Structure 1
Amino acid sequence: MTPNDPPALSCSGITHHYPASDHEVPALHEVALSAARGRVTALVGPSGSGKSTLLRILACLERPTHGTVEVDGVDATALSARRRRELRRHRLGYVFQNPIDNLLGYLTVEEHLGLATRLRRTGPSGGELLDALGLAGRRTHHPRQLSGGEQQRVALAFAAAGDPSALLADEPTAQLDRASAHLVGAALHQLAALGHCVVVATHDPELTGVADDVHELVDGRIA
């Protein structure tokens, strides 16, 4: 990345309200931030602070009420629904909190990476990610044959395969024990070292500790 390149992922003026029966519930207020390749960016804050909502907006899973999200300099909020789906598929990887929700039970670990690179229309299968994340011995395993921590590291490799612009993870250690959480934190750090843009919403000090940039949300605002 050169100094003139846009950030991999950025947003500005993000305001978001959820509709209720007779009013709107505010979730985010004029949030702006950017995330670069080669760095781990953490969104932290108490429950209800808006960090998971912001992550979903950055991942183009939700449209904000107001504001813009840019992926490699492209205004995703200005795209049609079809083009937003294409952008999510090709340029963004997303990891859910529950490890098994990220994987397809009928595919092996290696087949997951092959699927990701086909969806993103890139070349090699991304097997080097398994080596980097300590999963080389699990290539032929199916998800149910893996521990929760291994499933989540495979999910990270699945999200990163095919070189997306950014990979995003929502509380990826929330359902893991401390040892597994430590390995997932190390995996996030390693993915950033390989040049990926990593954005994570978390309560976990383990993940905050590996982050290069930390943004704290309080009542829907960057503190």
Structure 2
Amino acid sequence: MTTTTTTKARGGFSLRDVTKTYGTGEATVHALRGVDLEVPPGELVVVLGPSGSGKTTLLNVLGGIESADGGRISAAGEELTGRAPARLAGFRRDHVGFVFQFFNLIPTLTARENVELIVELTGRGTRERVPELLEAVGLSDRADHFPAQLSGGQQQRVAIARALVTDPDLVLADEPTGALDTRTGRTILDLLQRAAREGRTVLMVTHNASVADMADRVVTMHDGRVESVDRNERPVDAADVSW
């Protein structure tokens, strides 16, 4: 049964006629073609679609990693349209937690230090919260291990802790369960679902259609466009997701 929370919801977003292209001439790739999407604060949203459908580009422009070529974007109460790179960086620092597909951990830092570094770089969150988050992801006993000493699933859990340590309004996760076993995958899904139930907005890109069962809203993309948006009235718990 889905639990409820009284925590204030944060981090909704809106995209209106958003476009993004890469390359020029015959090499032009239309990654986003007039995307319209609106999500209220505090929802867990799953984005489905084949490779090349624009899912990761959607995450990048929403999180301020890249600028859109056209259209309007607002997120977490801020207008992102036309922002200079420095102001987009400020938006990422103040509002967004990223979970990258390939972890992006710093190999010369331990698990604990990788999470602490985000606190130092952003000035948000506290060092005291790091042990709590590492315990939440089941890595208290691996806190002093370097990424090369951790399995892929353990590295991904460090990435989850790093994304949440600043208490972001918006959590963006790109294929967070890719290539993971069922048990580890469900652990990561549970962490993301808990983040949404605690009031954050979570947008998760995945190829695994069964994950859609736990979402509040399911967005299907194809060829750079939003093909459908479906509301899930009864999301299941992450532990009950079929794999």
The TM-score normalised by the length of structure 1 is 0.86
Cα drift, residue 122 of structure 1: 2.5
Match of 1:120 in 2: 122
How far is the alpha carbon of 1:214 from its aligned partner?
0.9
Q: Which residue of 2 aligns with 1:158?
A: 162
1:174-213 paired onto structure 2 within 5 Å: 174-213=178-217
TM-score, normalised with respect to structure 2: 0.79
Paired AA for residue 220 in structure 2: E
Unaligned runs of 5+ in 2: 1-6, 228-243
Residues 129 and 8 of structure 1: is their aligned pair in 2 closer, same or farther, counting only changes over 3 Å? Answer: farther
Q: Could you give the per-residue CA deviations for residues 62-96 of structure 1, whole angstroms, max 9, x where no partner exists?
A: 21121122232211223212111222233222222
Q: State the AA in 2 paired with 1:52.
A: T
**What residue in structure 2 maps to residue 95 of structure 1?**
99
**Equivalent AA in structure 2 for residue 73 of structure 1:** G
Distance 1:202 1:137, change over 3 A: same
Counterparts of 1:138 and 1:213, CA distance in 2: 35
Contact 1:132 1:190 in 2 (8 A): no
Question: Are the counterparts in 1 of residues 11 and 201 from structure 2 also a CA contact under 8 Å?
Answer: no
The partner residue of 1:29 within 23, 27, 33 is: 33
Q: Give percent identity, aligned residues only.
A: 37
Tell which deviates more after alignment, 199-208 or 212-221. Answer: 199-208
Q: Distance in 1 between matches of 2:200 and 2:159?
A: 15
Does the CA-based 8 Å contact 1:91-1:120 persist in structure 2?
Answer: no
| Aligned counterpart for 2:60 among listed residues 56, 59, 66 | 56
Corresponding residue of 1:72 = 76
For 1:14 and 1:88, locate their aligned partners in 2 and report how far apart those are by CA, in whole Å.
Answer: 19
> Residues 208 and 124 (structure 1 numbering): CA distance in 2 closer, same or farther, change over 3 Å?
same
Asked whether the equivalents of residues 166 and 198 of structure 1 are also in contact (C-alpha less than 8 Å), the reply is: yes
SS at match of 1:173: coil
Measure how far apart 1:217 and its partner are. Answer: 0.8
CA gap 1:123/1:53 in 2 versus in 1, 3 angstroms: closer
SS at match of 1:78: coil
Does structure 2 retain, via aligned residues, the 8 Å contact 1:153–1:187?
A: no
Cα deviation, residue 24, structure 1: 3.7
| Distance apart, 1:108 and its partner CA | 2.0
Paired residues, number = 219
Q: Structure 1: which 5+ residue stretches go unaligned?
A: none
- Deviation of 1:37 after TM superposition, in Å, equals 4.5
Deviation at 1:151, TM superposition (A): 0.7
Q: Return the letter of the residue paired with 2:101.
A: Q
More displaced, 110-119 or 46-55?
Answer: 110-119
Counterpart of 2:144 in structure 1 is 140
RMSD of the alignment, in Å?
Answer: 2.3
Offset at residue 107 of structure 1 (A): 1.8
- In structure 2, relative to structure 1, the CA distance for the partners of 1:177 and 1:90 (3 Å cut) is same
The 2-side partners of 1:52 and 1:218 are apart by 12
Deviation of 1:221 (Å): 1.8
Task: Give the CA deviation at 1:25.
Answer: 3.1
Is the deviation greater in 125-134 or in 68-77? 125-134
Q: 1:109 aligns with which of 100, 108, 111?
A: 111
- Given the superposition, is the C-alpha separation of residues 34 and 150 from structure 1 closer, same or farther in structure 2, using an over 3 Å criterion? farther
